Amino acid sequence: MDRIRIVGGNRINGRIPISGAKNAALPLMIASLLTDDTLTLENVPHLADVEQLIRILGNHGVDYSVNGRRERQNEGYSRTINFTARSIVDTTAPYELVSKMRASFWVIGPLLARMGEAKVSLPGGCAIGTRPVDLFLEGLQALGARIDVENGYVIAKTNGRLTGNRYVFPKVSVGATHVLIMAASLAKGETVLENAAREPEIVNLAECLNAMGAKITGAGTSTIVIDGVDALSGARHQVIPDRIETGTYAMAVAMAGGDVILEGARADLLQGALDVIAQTGAEIIPVNSGIRVRRNGSGIAPVDVTTEPFPGFPTDLQAQFMGLMTMAEGKSRITETIFENRFMHVQELARLGAHITLAGQTAIVDGVRKLKGAPVMATDLRASVSLVIAGLAAEGETVVNRVYHLDRGFERLEEKLSGCGATIERISS
């Protein structure tokens, strides 16, 4: 099992290319099930989760081909991939595939909309809380689906096409918003989704579906209107840059010090998080090629944050921000409102010398003058990279175990950081 070895203390300077967003690429790939034409996606990141979803889509009959790498890009970075679901050969998504990645449950929407039936295993994924699928199922029922849960599988059927309807999400759900947008695109009549998620990845999906012939308005607001169409065609669409990767590297610069251009980053995708990082003392400067982040060696100011749906501070940056706050000059409070059980990284940061106490859904971080390297273990995708951020500033050697979590969401992280002067390497077992 691979490990990441870090020797802290180096400032990071240079340029880091921001990859395509995993959280945008996955629903876009799933959208290929909605048409028998080819959907070509540009800027698809090379990640374990993407490869797993390719296998899942292949189980349903989706063919794929990979074009050459982007111009002036190193081998292995984001790719252009063609997805063609000429015919759906199987409407069942089995446990052995779905249990490895939660987002694969989302195939239920397109399969039901196009084929009138779907049998999908209840999902797996990171151990950061239950994250039930009740909103997905309630929304599909509002569109006319009959839903049963048997032996760990959701069995969804409809007589003919789904039917447009009004559905109000009891709470904001990015995943359920993705699924219902896709399902409603082929429904008969108009669907109105209220209290919908507003994340940039939702907008990216809606733009892709519109390019395929869907009629969707309001994406990026809390009310989305979908006029169903009889069929969708192929299209060519680009995955947006990864705002979570952007925020992660911005925090790495704030932690270690240095001056880095995040190439291809878009500030509008995470302005709330950038504002918080700026409050810690780092400079955030928009430039033509992306975002420049620098910290000249001054201390890290403590900042209180609460995770919120977009445009608030993302839950997927909470662990990284906690890593940054471990060396702040004072106390900070980090409150998690999106997922329960998302403080599993606290004990691992403590192994590096961090002082963190938990009070319900709030972590109180008492910044220390120095961290010391130690062996640590990644517990989920975002927690793994919080340990990398802490290790960049810790004295001595930090070894992060179970980095398969990290490989799910960060494309060649060790290469990007080592290219900017960090002492970081992958150790293959």
Q: Is 173 annotated as a binding residue?
A: yes
Q: Residue 428, class by beta-carbon neighbours within 10 Å (0-12 exposed, 13-18 middle, 19+ buried)?
A: exposed
Q: Is 102 annotated as a binding residue?
A: yes
- Is residue 23 marked as binding? yes
Q: Which H or E run includes 192?
A: strand 190-194
Task: Classify residue 51 as exposed, middle or buried by CB count within 10 Å of its CB (0-12, 13-18, 19+).
Answer: exposed
- Residue 382 assigned to a binding site: no
131 carries a ligand binding annotation: yes
388 has binding-site annotation: no
DSSP-assigned letters across all residues of 57-99: HHHHT-EEEE-PPPTT--TTS-EEEEEE-SS----EE-HHHHT
Known binding residue 188? Answer is: no
Residue 260 marked in a binding site: no
**Residue 135 labeled ligand binder:** yes
DSSP 388-407: HHHHHHSBSEEEEE-THHHH
Of 73, 129, 62, 70, nearest to 97 by C-alpha is: 62
CA distance 408 to 101: 9
* Type of residue numbered 382: R
Contact (Cβ atoms closer than 8 angstroms) between residue 400 and residue 363: no
Whether 275 has a binding-site annotation, put simply, is no
Name the CA dihedral angle for 128, 396, 328, 259, rounded to a multiple of 10 degrees. -100
Task: Check the annotation: does 241 bind a ligand.
Answer: no
Query: Do the strands 355-359 and 258-263 form a parallel or antiparallel pair, or are they unpaired?
Result: unpaired
b or e along 352-382 (b: 16 or more beta carbons within 10 Å of the residue's beta carbon)?
bbbebeeeebebbbebeeebebbebbbbbbb
**98 among the known binding-site residues?**
no
Please, are residues 29 and 21 in contact by the beta-carbon 8 Å criterion? no
DSSP state, residue 298: P
22 annotated binding-site participant: yes
Active site members: 126
Would the annotation count 86 as a binding residue? no
Q: What is the DSSP string of 91-160?
A: -EE-HHHHTT-GGGGGGHHHHHHHHSEEEEEPP---SS-----HHHHHHHHHTT-EEEEETTEEEEE-SS
C-alpha span between 393 and 17 (Å, rounded) = 22
Dihedral (CA of 214, 217, 223, 227) sign: negative
Annotated binding site for UDP-N-acetyl-alpha-D-glucosamine: 102, 131-135, 171-174, 316, 338
Annotated binding site for phosphoenolpyruvate: 22-23
